[in-house]
Chains A and B, each alone.
Chain A
Amino acid sequence: MTTAALVRAPEPRPMQLIERLSGPLTRRTIVPIAILMTVVVGVGDRLTGVELPFTLLYVLPIGLAAWYRDRAFGLAVSALATACIGVSLVHDGLSTLGIVWNGSGAVLLFFAVTWCVDQLHAYVERERAQRRMAIDQLRHAERLNVIGTLAAGVAHELGTPLNVIAGCAEILAEDSSDLTVHRRTTMILDQVSRVSAIIRHLLDFGHRGGVARGDVELGTLASATVEMLQSTARKRGAQIVLEPGPPVHVSGNVSELEQVLSNLILNGLQAMERGGTVRVTTRVENRADHPEACLVVEDQGHGISAADRPRIFDPFFTTKDVGEGTGLGLAVSYGIVRDHDGSIEVESQPGRGSTFTVVLPLRA
Chain B
Amino acid sequence: MEPSRRKLVIADDSPEMRWFVRSAIGAEFREVVEAANGRELLWTLLRSRFAAKDLDHRDLVITDLCMPAYDGLEVLDAWGDREHRVPTILITAFPSEEIRQRARELKVIVLAKPFSRAALRQALDDTTRDPR
Contacts and interface: CB of A to CB of B under 8 A. Distances in A.
Nearest to A167: B20
Contacts of B17: 160, 163-164
B20 A155 contact: no
B113 A162 contact: yes
A207 B114 contact: no
Say what secondary structure dominates the interface of chain A: helix
Contacts of A40: none
A168 to B, nearest CB: 8
Given A167-B24, A192-B114, A160 B93 contact: yes
What band does the interface of chain B fall in when counting residues whose beta carbon is under 8 Å from A? Answer: 20 to 34
A225 B17 CA distance: 39
A155 B94 contact: yes
B96 to A, nearest CB: 6
Contacts of A163: 17, 20, 113-115
A203 interface: yes
Interface string A156-171: 1011111111111011
B97 A211 contact: yes
Bin the interface of chain A by size.
20 to 34
20 contacts: A156-B93, A158-B93, A159-B92, A159-B93, A160-B12, A160-B16, A160-B113, A161-B14, A163-B113, A163-B114, A164-B14, A165-B114, A166-B114, A167-B116, A167-B117, A170-B117, A171-B23, A171-B117, A203-B94, A212-B97
Interface of B: 12, 14, 16-17, 19-20, 23-24, 64, 66, 92-94, 96-98, 101, 112-117
Interface of A: 152, 155-156, 158-168, 170-171, 189, 192, 196, 199-200, 203, 207, 210-212
